[in-house]
Amino acid sequence: MSDLFQAVTDYSPYLWEGVQVTLALSGGGAVVALVVAVTLGLCAISPFVVLRVGSRVVVEFFRGTSLVVQLFFLFYVFPLFGIDLPGMWCGIIGLGLNYGAYGSEVVRGSLNAVAKVQWESTTALSMSWSMAVRRVIWPQAWGLMLPGLNNLMVMLVKGTAVALLIGLHDLTYWVEVMRKDPEVGLWIAYGVGFLLYYLVALGCSSGLRLLERRAQRRLGLAPSKTRTTRATAEAVA
Amino acid sequence: MEDVAKRFGKNTVLDGLNFTVERGERVTLIGPSGSGKTTILRLLMTLEELSGGYIYVDGDPLTYAKRGNRRVKLPNKEVTRIRKRIGMVFQQFNLFPNMTVCENIIEAPVHVLGQSKEEARAKAVDLLDQVGLRDKIDAHPSSLSGGQQQRVAIARALAMEPEILLLDEVTSALDPELVGDVLEVLREVARETDITMLLVTHEMQFAQDVSHRVLMFDEGRVIEEAKPEVMFNNPEHERTKQFLQAIL
């Protein structure tokens, strides 16, 4: 136990740095991924064929090719064309595009899952496509897509570990450094790695769960607190 | 409607259908399921693509126009302009669950017609008064009964001040004891306004009370047309007799 304590104390500044890099990659990647996912998802259901086909091609490309190769491409090949991005940027853009492509399928699926009759109501009220999406369809789809996006968010957090391959000093990098230290037990290094990733992922998914519950309450899907209380009171009486 | 045709794949629902509804007239469409009556309302609301023929609203073509010998599709903008004069109430209410009752009603008047929020809300209050749900103005659709939701849906359609109101089996999804309130609201709309109405319903007493004319459909054609008293008491066509006997 004292070994563990010793190792954690010795490495805590480095682990903290690693967690920060992992958080930055996760947060930045998530923002880029969300923008990509929403844009591609909306294009996929738009009335314009060009946008639908374009979205399909982009999604298939980024889903169908390896994330590691995409990162290497950004990091090693882009500089040959004079685009020299710092590693962190490469990581955020690469992760964002890749997970955004997956996310766009969640967005598309959720938009399509909104009842067709809701679209018909917007037509009957002469709302335009963009107004219908913005005011009626999207708010309903949002609650539906959050569980799927949450799933991807957790995968993204863990997926940031590939950033090690383009030289970023993220959590995995420091865990590797710990592992190579003969004074630190193997199980300690990886145990700490497990735990820290788990905590970061847990934090992210709890935040999204909160958003999900709020969205569902707004749609009247989950019973509001007062109604539950009243129902309980009635049941007791 | 002129030579209206509607095909779903190889299945022809309407073929060469012609009929006219006068301004302010209330017409009920009856007939067995699959006879095309709901399809007519959906074509008028532009929820279905017209496969052939033309629909005119007050002389203006709705989705397709005749240019010489050619049948041309009208641009979206033009369709929207005409469509604003038509409103529809659906079987399944279709309120927006992400909005309150008031927001449901004022959404399109504010964002489509460009009314101010205050103006639209004042009108929403009047309309909710009319349908007997003023106290539900800030309620959530999910907290209302089916009958209440349908009355809000009627208010929402009326808020757009349509010249033509399409009612598609508006009581079919309701519990029997909730039907009365909804029909009462519609009776009042019929009494108080001169909105042209096309209704598809199985409530024959209601149809008789509010409509000027009844059209009996079978296999996409009007097989009989009469005033409601005549249609319901002395139908001529054998098929109409059968149909009415089966549902009354």
Q: What are the tokens at A203?
A: 């934090």
Whether B228 contacts chain A with CB within 8 A = no
CB-CB under 8 Å, A124 with B47 = yes
Per residue, the 3-state secondary structure of chain B, as one string, reads: CEEEEEEECCEEEEEEECCCCCCCCEEEEECCCCCCHHHHHHHHCCCCCCCEEECEECCEECCEEEECCEEEECCHHHHHHHHCCEEEECCCCCCCCCCCHHHHHHHHHHHCCCCCHHHHHHHHHHHHHHCCCHHHCCCCHHHCCHHHHHHHHHHHHHHCCCCEEEEECCCCCCCHHHHHHHHHHHHHHHHHCCCEEEEECCCHHHHHHHCCEEEEEECCEEEEEECHHHHHHCCCCHHHHHHHHHHC
Read off the tokens for A130. Answer: 């963009």
Classify the phi-psi angles of B30: left when phi > 0, otherwise alpha if psi is within -120 to 50, otherwise beta: beta
Looking at chain B from residue 23 to 62, which residues have their Cβ under 8 Å from any Cβ of chain A? 45-47
Residue ranges of domains in chain B, CATH in brackets: 2-85+162-247 (3.40.50.300), 97-161 (no CATH)
ipTM of the complex: 0.89
Do the Cβ atoms of B47 and A136 come within 8 Å?
Answer: no
Residue A219: which of B83, B86, B97 has the nearest Cβ? B97
DSSP state of A220: T
Asked whether the predicted pLDDT for residue A235 surpasses 90, the reply is no
Q: Mind listing the pLDDT tens digit of every residue in chain B (248 residues)?
A: 566 666 666 677 788 788 888 888 999 999 888 788 888 899 999 998 888 888 888 888 888 888 888 888 898 888 998 899 999 999 999 999 999 999 999 999 999 999 999 999 999 999 999 999 999 999 999 999 999 999 999 999 999 999 999 999 998 888 888 898 899 999 999 999 999 999 998 888 889 889 999 999 888 888 898 898 888 888 888 888 888 888 76
CA gap B104, B144 in Å, rounded: 13
Rounded to a whole number of angstroms, the distance from the CA of A48 to the nearest CA of chain B is 13
Q: Which CATH superfamily hosts domain A2-236?
A: MetI-like (1.10.3720.10)
Edge-to-edge strands, sheet with B86-89: B86-89, B164-168, B196-200, B26-30, B213-218, B221-226
Residues paired with residue B231 on neighbouring β-strands, in sequence order: none
- Asked if B90 and A128 come within 8 Å (Cβ–Cβ), the reply is no
> In this complex, which of A123, A135, A140 lies closest to B97 when CB atoms are compared?
A140
